[in-house]
Amino acid sequence: MKALLKTKREEGIWMGEVPMPEVGPNDVLIRVHKSAICGTDVHIYNWDEWAQKTIPVPMVVGHEYFGVIEKVGAEVEGYKPGDRVSGEGHITCGHCRNCRAGKRHLCRNTVGVGVNRTGSFAEYLSIPAFNVFKVPDNVPDDVASIFDPYGNAAHTALSFDMVGEDVLITGAGPIGIMAVAIAKHVGARNVVITDVNEYRLDLARKMGATVAVNPMKKNLTEVMKDLGMTEGFDVGLEMSGNRNAFESMLEAMHHGGRIALLGILPGDCAIDWSQVIFKGLILKGIYGREMFETWYKMAAMVQSGLDITPVITHHYGIDDFQKGFDAMRSGQSGKVILDWGV
Ligand code: NAD
Ligand code: ZN
């Protein structure tokens, strides 16, 4: 079958032929219809320090997709050929304490599809049936293909009560932009988002941000003043991984504010702890999606009218994958979807 591979320990990604994946008794074989490109795939493409340490070569990469079940293993129940599906990319061990407590997103033995094991930029993908998510009929294929990052946004945004709250999101990448729409959908009052990229700030406005601001041009104190906010933000979602953004968030939080951290801050990122301690802030790290509570909420929010489609800015056929990666690498994009033509 055809697949996008990392075949060389250098910048780039290449189309090649690989054998069909094996389907174990508890696995499901999925015919991939749509692949979306993740920021992680761009790190793998760029072959940065993290990728060099993490990615085995050669390997099929990719983990965001929509497809249809082709075949199920002998022991699989609840799925059948023809089912429309996406899947959770974190494969968990099932026997550690957290897994057994139903907190699979906290499994210390997590293995990532397209990161630690063969991925979904391929005609077919085999994954454990446990990881499969059946897509409701009224959720479009394109939207289902970005359930993985939409799940990062949902897991982060739904960590804290937002009804009537003032929310600050730092980083208007695809995930931050989707978090804007979720925050508005669940009833936040003001949703302010920051980014240094004007293209992405425009997208955030299309997704319903109250204010989308470039911190190089206007600071958060001025934004709060314009909005008549005298006390600070109640909920913060850190989605940039940038230390300056996180610092300005800490300063802009109200006493008792709650912050969910998704962006991967530098390991040595120092912060002003007096902001956390004297304001009594609550900080929560976020990894992946809750299995499968986040997935149910994602489908339900789409069914109850949440529209995340403005985040999808580019579509290409799979043979034009290079154009897709170029668009992602330019920073002038939201989500990029590659179509397998089935
Ligand atoms: P992205 O890199 O596309 O978006 C990050 C955005 O932050 C960019 O648009 C960038 O311009 C912006 N930014 C840079 N400096 C800034 C500043 N000073 N102030 C405000 N914004 C600034 O990433 P994404 O795919 O949207 O993901 C968001 C973050 O979440 C990334 O750090 C990613 O690595 C991380 N992530 C974490 C998990 C997890 O499980 N914890 C999963 C997926 C992604
Ligand atoms: Zn486990």
Cis preceding-peptide flag for 58 (omega within 30 of 0): yes
Sign of CA dihedral 208, 213, 219, 222: negative
Q: How far is the CA of 49 from the centre of ligand 1 (A)?
A: 17
74-132 confidence digits (pLDDT tens): 999 999 999 999 999 999 999 999 999 999 999 999 999 999 999 999 999 999 999 99
Task: State the average pLDDT for the chain.
Answer: 98
Residues 133 and 28 in one domain: yes
pLDDT confidence bin for 280, thresholds 50/70/90: very high
CA of 92 from ligand 2 middle (Å) equals: 5
Would residue 54 show up in a list of annotated catalytic residues for this protein? no
Domain with 261 in it: what CATH number?
3.40.50.720
- Position 101 scores a pLDDT of 98
Q: Which ligand is nearest to the CA of 101?
A: 2
Residues of the chain with pLDDT > 90: what percent? Answer: 100
Total domains in the chain come to 2
Does residue 332's CB lie within 6 angstroms of at least one atom of ligand 1? no
Same domain, 92 and 157: no
Q: Relative to the alpha carbon of 192, which ligand is closest?
A: 1
Q: What percent of the chain has pLDDT over 70?
A: 100
Are residues 6 and 62 located together in one domain of the fold?
Answer: yes
Rounded to two decimals, the pTM is: 0.98
Active site residue 40: yes
DSSP 27-89: EEEEEEEEEE--HHHHHHHHT-HHHHHH--SSEE---EEEEEEEEE-TT--S--TT-EEEE-S
Domain assignment present for 294: no
Residue 141 forms part of a structural domain: yes
288 touches ligand 1 (CB under 6 Å): yes
334 Cβ inside 6 Å of ligand 1: no
The one catalytic residue among 33, 40, 110, 170: 40
C-alpha pair distances (Å), 184 with each of 180, 189, 192, 236: 6, 7, 11, 14
pLDDT at 176 (0 to 100): 98
79 and 97 inside one domain: yes
The pLDDT, as a whole number, for residue 151 is 98
Within a domain: residue 164? yes
The model's pLDDT over 7-39, given as tens digits with 9 standing for 90+, comes to: 999 999 999 999 999 999 999 999 999 999 999
119 & 211 share domain: no
User: Does the CB atom of residue 294 touch ligand 1 within 6 A?
Assistant: no
d(CA 13, CA 290) in angstroms, rounded, equals 30
Claim to verify: residue 159 and residue 273 sit in the same structural domain: yes
User: What are the tens digits of pLDDT across the range 213-258?
Assistant: 999 999 999 999 999 999 999 999 999 999 999 999 999 999 999 9
